[in-house]
Amino acid sequence: MIPNYHLVTFGGLALLRDGEPATGTLGQRKRLALLAVLAASPAGVTRDRALALLWPESDDERARNALSQLVHGRRQAAEVAWHA
């Protein structure tokens, strides 16, 4: 059976899997923030905009590296969740 996911953005930020809070990497704060930013922008978000929103205090190189790691981890988590 394919799990059912819901991103909750009202009254907090959470990812629910089949009605229960997602655990592990799926529930990490920056990962949820990236999902919320993407969900709120149907036309997409530029890399520079995502960097400015999620890592405003970091220099460009550090922020790009953090985003790259975040996206890589999100892809891995999605694959694991999809096959669970």
Q: What is the pTM of this model?
A: 0.76
Rounded to the nearest integer, the mean pLDDT of the chain is 85
pLDDT at 67 over 90: yes
Cα dist from 53 to 38, 56, 63, 81, whole Å = 11, 6, 10, 26
pLDDT at 84 over 60: no
pLDDT tens by residue, 27-56: 778 888 998 998 899 898 999 999 999 999
Strand (E) or helix (H) holding 15: strand 14-17
DSSP string, 17-81: ETTEE--GGGG-HHHHHHHHHHHT-TT---HHHHHHHH-TTS-HHHHHHHHHHHHHHHHHHHHHH
pLDDT at 80 (0 to 100): 64
Over residues 53-82, the mean pLDDT reads 85
pLDDT at 59 over 90: yes
